[in-house]
Structure 1
Amino acid sequence: MSLYDEGHTIAGWTGFGIATVGNGVVGLGVCTVSVPALVGGLVIVGLGVLVAWALHLSGWGKPPGVRPRDQWGMRVRDARARDGHDGCVGCRLAGRGRRGATAAVAATRAGEAEPVATEAGS
């Protein structure tokens, strides 16, 4: 069995539900050739993304990657959300979290000519 538990969160399912309703409205707009329905459906989809992002940042979403099995429950709130998750685009967009090893910025220590990576991945 996989150690990954992606998307089984309150944030994920709420965003999915709102986006599904938005897609239904977009489909209705396509079938009835209604521009207001198309625009309204796209607005609902965008709202679903924003709601899922807000829930993720408030701790109801979980970081990507491997988590212990006791944190797999949908109703388990993530206490690390306030500091941001490593490698999480949503947290990075909100100004939280640290950049991964691929985006580490080289810094120079005082008195040394060689740059030293601020955060090494391995």
Structure 2
Amino acid sequence: MSAHGDVDLGHTVAGWTGTAISLVALNVLGVAVVAVSLPLAVLGTGLGALAGLVTWALHLAGWGKRTGPRPPSEWPWRVRDHAARRGHPDCLGCRMAGRRPEEAASGAAARPAAITAILP
């Protein structure tokens, strides 16, 4: 349960997994700085990029949740978000994956941004 009253601040499988991988990446980068090691710096940077990709993939698979307040039934971090397949409103990760719930609601056909800029 949330320690902040009626607001849930995320606490998802995607968030915790990304945070854990990021912490490992930062530790590797710290050792790379102290040891002045380019291979360790490259490894740490790669792990940081991996953390972002894993978090994004888990979010799109339903293990991340939309931003903002959620009902208490969705607060536990192991609850899967089944609305992720349609995309979350105002979610950069969902937009990058081509999931735009506002277009689906209006009945507009999904078009790539380049085509939308050319066609009216």
Instruction: Kindly indicate whether structure 1 or structure 2 has the higher relative contact order, using CA contacts under 8 Å at least 6 residues apart.
Output: 2
CA distance in 2, matches of 1:80, 1:39: 36
User: AA paired with 2:57?
Assistant: A
**Alignment partner of 1:85 is 2:94:** no
Match in the other structure for 1:5: 8
Q: Which runs of 5+ in 1 are unaligned?
A: 100-122
CA distance in 2, matches of 1:63, 1:25: 31
Structure 1 vs Structure 2 CA RMSD: 1.2
**Alignment partner of 1:71 is 2:74:** yes
In percent, how many aligned pairs have the same letter?
51
**Alignment partner of 1:25 is 2:44:** no
TM-score norm. by structure 2 comes to 0.78
Residue 49 of structure 1: how far off its partner (Å): 0.7
Give the structure with the larger helix fraction: 2
CA distance in 2, matches of 1:3, 1:90: 25
User: AA paired with 1:61?
Assistant: G
Q: Give 1 or 2 for the bigger CA radius of gyration.
A: 1
CA distance in 1, matches of 2:90, 2:22: 24
How far does the alpha carbon of each residue in 1:62-101 deviate from its partner, in whole angstroms, 9 at most, with x for none?
Answer: 00011111100111000100000001111111111246xx
CA distance in 2, matches of 1:54, 1:92: 13
Match in the other structure for 1:107: none
User: AA paired with 1:55?
Assistant: L
Aligned residues: 99
